[in-house]
Each structure stands twice: as C-alpha cells, then as structure tokens.
Chain A
Amino acid sequence: SYELTQPPSVSVSPGQTVSITCSGDRLGDKYASWHQQKPGQSPVLVIYQSTQRPSGIPDRFSGSNSGNTATLTISGAQAMDEADYSCQAWDSTSLYVFGTGTKVTVL
C-alpha cells in the first residue's frame, strides 16, 4: 500500500516561515493536497494540485512537489495557523491516502 510520511510536529515563531514535508514514493508524479485541521474542527483544504490555493486561503500558504517530497510552506506564520496539517494524494492501488499528520505550533 502507498504511504505518506510527515514529521509529527514542527514549531515556528510568529512572523517566521515554516515548512512541512510529506514523503512518498514518486510523490512528485502525483497531485498532493494539504488539509488544515484546528482542534475540534473539521479539516479545511488549503492546497490542492500541489501548488494551488482554494479561494479564501491566505497567500502565506504555498505548496511545492518534486521527487519524493511535497512541501507546505507557511510564510509569516500567525497564531491562527496553529493546527494539524495532513498531506493527501491519490494512488491507483490505495486510492486516497493521507499522511501521518504534522502538528504546527506557533510560539
């Protein structure tokens, strides 16, 4: 089965930049998405098709995807960005696959 691996946690100071990685076999050949989930809330799509932002998502969120790694970058992190972030991709065998999730702490 296809697997996506993320670091369990990252921290960032307010106003600084943080990047979250998502690793999977030949992930760069697939579309990667990122979902943000704040405590007690449903997930929200913040990046799709590896680099695209849905309407309403601040431009401090950006994505890239190459080789075996997709990356979500938050530039100028704010306290409101503190959340769990899960990458996700589609695989022909496993279908929809989620990453292990990364907790982002802004402190």
Chain B
Amino acid sequence: QVQLVESGGGLVKSGGSLRLSCAASGFTFGDYYMTWIRQAPGKGLEWVSHISSRGSVKFYADSVKGRFTVSRDNSKNSLYLQINSLTGEDTAVYYCARAIEQQTFDYWGQGTLVTVSS
C-alpha cells in the first residue's frame, strides 16, 4: 500500500533553516510528481511546492519562492524540502502528497510540524 512518511520538523528560531524529508513506499516513486502542502494551526491547506517525476521541473508558491527548495532522490524513494529564512508565518504542519494527472493529490503523509519561534 502507498505510504508517505514525513520527518525533519521541529522547533526552530526565526531566520533558521530545516530540511524536511518524505519517504515513499508502495508505489513506483519515480513515476509520480510530488508535492508539499502545509497547514498553519487552525487554518486551511496551502500548496507550497511541486516537483516533476525526474526532478527537472519545480514550482513554488509565491509565499515561499526564494526561501524553499524542493528536491528528490528517486534512487532512495525520497522527497525533500529545504526551508530557509523561516518566519512565524511558516509555522505549520507540512505534508507531502502524491500528485496525479487529474490535477490533485491521491495520497498524503501524516505530516511533520514545523514551529518557528521568535
């Protein structure tokens, strides 16, 4: 069965950095586009970043452009998100999700919490 397991979240000071990981299993990882989505406490879902199956095409939300970098290692079935210059507005649960051609996400991980303190 498809599994997505995020890790790497934690408490970080404003201006700091973190690297989030997402370990995928149960499907051919290299065949799928992958996405990061976040949810601030008590708020709605916000798409963050998207990477093509081979990693050659990357997109970012305007709110994170220039600070976040998405990458993947298909040999390790892993997705990554490097997040820099963190502010309190980046405090959220970060989910990785598998993107499908119908322009949505059919599987989500359990999420990893990033808390930015001042």
Contact B44 A95 (CB under 8 A): no
Interface size on B, residues (CB 8 A): 22
Q: Chain B interface (Cβ within 8 Å of chain A)? A: 35, 37, 44-47, 50, 59, 61-62, 95, 100, 102-111
* Nearest residue, chain B, Cβ from A54: B106
The chain A residues found within 8 Å of chain B, CB to CB, are 1, 30-31, 33, 35, 37, 42-45, 48-49, 52, 54, 86, 88-90, 95-101
Q: Which of A31, A95, A99, A100 contacts B102 (CB 8 A)?
A: A31
Q: A98 and B44 in contact (CB under 8 A), knowing A31-B103, A33-B103, A48-B104?
A: yes
Count of A-B residue pairs with CB < 8 Å: 61
List of A residues within 8 angstroms of B110 by Cβ: 42
Indicate if the CB atoms of B102 and A42 lie closer than 8 Å.
Answer: no
Q: Which residues of B contact A31 (CB under 8 A)?
A: 102-104
Query: A35 near B45 (CB under 8 angstroms)?
Result: yes
- Is A96 a contact of B102 with CB atoms below 8 Å? no
Among the listed A45, A86, A89, which residue makes an inter-chain contact with B106, where contact means beta carbons less than 8 Å apart? A45
Q: In whole Å, how far is A76's beta carbon from the nearest beta carbon of chain B? A: 25
- Specify which of A30, A54, A90, A96 lies most central, judged by the most chain B CB atoms within 10 Å of its CB: A96
**Chain B residues whose CB sits within 8 angstroms of the CB of A49 once the complex forms:** 102, 104
